Amino acid sequence: MPQPLPSEMHTDKFLTNLSVAFYQDAMNFVAGRVFPIIGVQKQSDLYPVFPKGFFWRNEMQVRPLGGEAPRIGYEINTDSYRCEEYSVAHTVDDRVRANTDDPLNPDRSAARLLTQQALVKMESDWVTNFFTTTLWDTDREGVDATPTGDQFLQFDQTASDPIGLIRGDCDAIMGVTGFKPNTLVMGRDVFRYLIVTHADVIDRIRYVQRGIADTEILAQLFGVDRIFVPGSVQESAVEGATSSIGFIHDSKSMLLCYSAPQPGIELPSAGYTFAWTGLLPGEMNAMGGVIQRMRMERAFSDYFVIRLSYDQKVVASELGIFYYACIA
């Protein structure tokens, strides 16, 4: 046997230019992008709500000579928000840091671990608060034949008309609110079916740029400004159990809504995220989050904690329609 053996001349160690870690791209998450985020100084408070009917009546009259103009008024109602604080922490012992080889960096990994956890938490809450039934004035169910009431024909049925459905519902919302929906959040199964299989959609984009139905092209077809196709996933199994990873959003559902371009006084929007930036003034980011690092001398460790405080709230349920079972 030739001497020495390769294994005797080389001790396996970590490559300094490669490691494998499944960090999700932040663009797969939509919780911070669909609705405006408004920073607030207090954990809870009230905000005014103006009933829209007062502003839309036709009450102007001919003013008689020497007479006063008819007087009108409006009501102001109130609603409230309350931001809860969420947190999770990770510790790095001095011995772990001192014994770590390149390319590993326990401090960097701690920050990424906490950031990914925060993204998943906010996205999961977003689905609960916005992307399900009973939250909006109208829920529409897809059926495979003979739709009635608010039902519609599922998009994988031959006679389905997804473009006509969405454009018609845009007009329906505008007809009762004065605002045309500008945003469509589309589950991945729905998106994939439309761009790969649906004959009407494919035919309409055949001669468009590159012939590929990306979100911008679909937005033009559906008559909205933006289409989001969430791609975030969540591990639902506890540590030590068999892994169970899947999309956070229902891939067969959609949300059509009007979202204000930015938060502001007297600006309606289907939803808002209230972020408690006043919890730690000057330290919280726009989402109401912060990562803090503290020394635990008695444990000879560094303590990393991420804190989030927000309230995701439907503020105008008439500005949204939720669609479920869009395909079989």
Whether pLDDT at 8 is above 90: no
What are residue 44's DSSP bridge partners? Answer: 82
Q: How confident is the model at residue 1 (pLDDT cuts 50, 70, 90)?
A: very low
Whether pLDDT at 249 is above 60: yes
- Is residue 78 one of the residues assigned to a domain? no
Mean pLDDT for 146-156 is 98
Contacts with 313 (C-beta within 8 Å, 6 or more apart), sequence order = 81, 129, 271, 272, 273, 274
Segment among 1-15, 24-38, 52-66 with least mean pLDDT: 1-15
Supply the pLDDT for residue 118: 94
From CA 50, how far away is CA 315, in angstroms rounded? 12
CB 229 within 8 A of CB 235: no
- Is residue 195 one of the residues assigned to a domain? yes
- Is residue 11 one of the residues assigned to a domain? no
Whether pLDDT at 270 is above 70: yes
Alpha-carbon distance values, 47 to 40, 50, 177, 278, 325 (Å):
11, 10, 20, 17, 35
Mean pLDDT for 7-12 is 42
Supply the pLDDT for residue 52: 84
Q: How confident is the model at residue 104 (pLDDT cuts 50, 70, 90)?
A: confident
- Is residue 243 one of the residues assigned to a domain? yes
Mean pLDDT for 291-308 is 94
Mean pLDDT for 282-295 is 92
DSSP 8-class letter at 103:
T
- Is residue 144 one of the residues assigned to a domain? yes
Give the pLDDT confidence of 176-197 residue by residue, as tens digits: 999 999 999 999 999 999 999 9
Neighbouring C-beta atoms of residue 211, cutoff 10 Å? 10
What are residue 303's DSSP bridge partners? Answer: 91, 294
- Is residue 157 one of the residues assigned to a domain? yes
Residue type, 59: E
- Is residue 170 one of the residues assigned to a domain? yes
CATH number at residue 183: 3.90.1690.10
Considering the chain, what percentage of its residues have pLDDT values greater than 70? 91
17 burial class (0-12, 13-18, 19+ CB within 10 angstroms)?
A: exposed
- Is residue 174 one of the residues assigned to a domain? yes
Alpha-carbon distance values, 316 to 37, 183, 188, 226, 264 (Å):
15, 14, 26, 19, 14
- Could you list the residue range(s) of the whole structural domain that residue 117 is in? 23-44+83-324
Supply the pLDDT for residue 22: 64
Considering the chain, what percentage of its residues have pLDDT values greater than 90? 76
CB 303 within 8 A of CB 290: no
CB 254 within 8 A of CB 211: no
Supply the pLDDT for residue 4: 45
Mean pLDDT for 97-101 is 87
Supply the pLDDT for residue 209: 62
Q: How confident is the model at residue 9 (pLDDT cuts 50, 70, 90)?
A: very low
Report residue 197 as tokens. Answer: 């299989």
Q: How confident is the model at residue 90 (pLDDT cuts 50, 70, 90)?
A: very high
CB 328 within 8 A of CB 154: yes
CA-nearest of 254, 259, 271, 34 to 152 is: 254
Supply the pLDDT for residue 210: 62
Average pLDDT, the chain: 90
Is residue 183 helix, strand or coil? Answer: strand
Whether pLDDT at 12 is above 50: no
Q: How many structural domains does the chain have?
A: 1
Give the pLDDT confidence of 40-80 residue by residue, as tens digits: 999 999 998 988 888 889 999 999 999 999 999 999 999 99
